Amino acid sequence: MSQIQAPPRDPVVTELRQFNRWWTHKIGALDANHLGSDFSLAESRVLYELAHRDGPTASELAAALGLDAGYLSRILQRFHKDGLLARAASDVDSRRQHLTLTERGRSAFAPLDQSAHRSMAQLLAPLSQDARLRLRHAVRELEQLLGERKPDAVPYILRPLGPGDLGWVVQRHGALYAEEYGWNVEFEALTAEIVAGFGKRHDPAQERGWIAERDGVPVGCVFLMRKSATIGQLRLLLVEPSARGLGMGARLVEECVRFARQAGYKRVQLWTNDVLTSARRIYEAAGFSLITSETHTSFGKKLVAQTWEKVLNPPPR
């Protein structure tokens, strides 16, 4: 009798299930009395929604929490019996009841909310500020990837290069271009060579790099490097997927052109490939013109290389 083999397990699914088990244990989600209170985790979540919503109906609560209507009904009945919950008929439809916490209900929720905040603060206490920022962005990205949160339109800043930024530029170019275009390690190696040369030999009066930062985390970069006495070269433009649509790429290019003019260059050139359509649109909008185009095989792909150029007007006096 042949043995039926189980289908291969998706490692991402396995990892997330492991995380779920660890996290539910970490926050005590399986405890009958959540945070040492008289409420279960589900009851605590219902209390939270009632405290932060303006008279929701039971059906609205069930949809928001993903709870079975019958299970939620039993929780609400308990709250009403214990004097935590008040019901009021809707002015529009008497069959609908709006739910609110009574003063006793709010008094029961307040220490629970404070205890939850204190428990999470204690969990995060050993983390450095940098680690806390990384965790915050990891949580946001997880929510965005699973469709529960739209990317935040958080303002960004452009700043000079700082410690660790050159390594970030190399790592993100290698990872992002492999993911989006299938380029191999040759491209990461080329990026590392460019960055290493800049770090060792750049002239601050004529060469500069910028990092675009959101909420303390790098999300974009660009460099202006010397190609000749009269030509500055725009290099290594990158914008993270999470920060696209904010005009960041155009702003980085604009800053490069502004500095090139200030440094006394007559023209700015850049080298790119035709598959980078979003970047090419930015260059065109900034006044760059295509001057050469040629096929080549690099980074494990057959590509069409392009050189673009912008003639600079002298800075106003």
* The predicted structure's pLDDT at residue 260: 96
The CATH class, in words, for 157-311 is: alpha beta
* The predicted structure's pLDDT at residue 88: 87
> Is there a contact between 198 and 167 (Cβ–Cβ < 8 Å)?
no
Burial 197-218 (b: 16+ CB within 10 A, else e): ebeeebeeebbbbbbbbbeebb
* The predicted structure's pLDDT at residue 112: 86
Number of H helices, E strands in the chain: 10, 9
Look at residues 105, 95, 113 and name the one whose alpha carbon lies nearest to residue 59.
95
pLDDT < 70 stretches in the chain: 1-6, 32, 93-94, 148-154, 314-317
Domain locations in the chain as residue ranges:
11-126, 157-311
| Two tokens, residue 26 | 């970490």
Cα gap 298→286, rounded to integer Å:
27
Cα gap 153→76, rounded to integer Å:
37
Cα gap 99→89, rounded to integer Å:
9
Look at residues 11, 77, 75 and name the one whose alpha carbon lies nearest to residue 44.
75
* The predicted structure's pLDDT at residue 154: 62
* The predicted structure's pLDDT at residue 129: 76
User: Would you say domain 11-126 falls under CATH 1.10.10.10?
Assistant: yes
* The predicted structure's pLDDT at residue 242: 84
Cα gap 94→91, rounded to integer Å:
6
Q: What is the pLDDT of residues 21-73, one digit of tens each?
A: 888 887 777 776 777 778 888 888 898 888 888 888 888 888 888 889 899 89
Which amino acid type is present at position 41? L
